[in-house]
Structure 1
Amino acid sequence: MVTTIQDFERLGEKYFSHWLAKGESDAILNVLEARGLEVPDDVRERIRRCQDLDQLRTWVRRAVTVTSAQELFTE
């Protein structure tokens, strides 16, 4: 039984992570495109293939400030 919000979040990430990852990758691409940045096919593919939610969330935050799509991947 789910007893806390944290339990629910962990279960959600476990069973629905592929949908969460798709949402995060869509957000990254939408931010980059809204900012008028070119998104090469290799960058788009790398974003779409990633299933690591923490990494995707990092890229979402970076998408707001990078000057090129490739900069997402630099530390």
Structure 2
Amino acid sequence: MDLSFYKSFMSEEIRDEGRTQGRAEGILPVLEQRGITVPDKVRERITDCGDPEVLRQWLVRAVTATSAEEICAEK
């Protein structure tokens, strides 16, 4: 059986995209669980972000932020 697909550039790209989407989807439940309202503008910015490092930073901020806007604020 040919398993080369699992090591191909395309498969790596698909996995990276899935990880990025997973991080974006992880931020919103953290905020909701903390009782923080997420405006549509912020929700869209989070779900549209394709940078895994930025999403990681936002996820860390989501744990202590006092507002959804604070998560995406430039620091």
Q: TM-score under structure 1 normalisation?
A: 0.78
**Structure 2: tracts of 5 or more residues without a match:** 1-6
* 2:20 matched residue in structure 1: 21
Q: Any idea what the Cα deviations from partners look like across 1:21-61, whole Å, max 9, x if unmatched?
A: 11101110010000000000010000000010000000000
Give the gaps of 5 or more residues in structure 1.
Answer: 1-7
Judge conservation of contact 2:42–2:72 (CA < 8 Å) in 1: no
Cα distance in 2 between the residues matched to 1:50 and 1:37: 20
Q: Is the 8 A contact 1:13 1:20 kept in 2?
A: no
Q: Which has the larger radius of gyration?
A: 2
Work out the percentage of aligned pairs sharing the same amino acid. 45
Mapped partners of 1:59, 1:30: distance in 2: 13
Number of aligned residue pairs: give it: 66
Q: State the partner residue of 2:3.
A: none
Using the size of structure 2 for normalisation, the TM-score is 0.78
| Runs of at least 4 residues off by over 4 Å | none
- Over the residues paired in the alignment, what is the CA RMSD in angstroms? 1.8
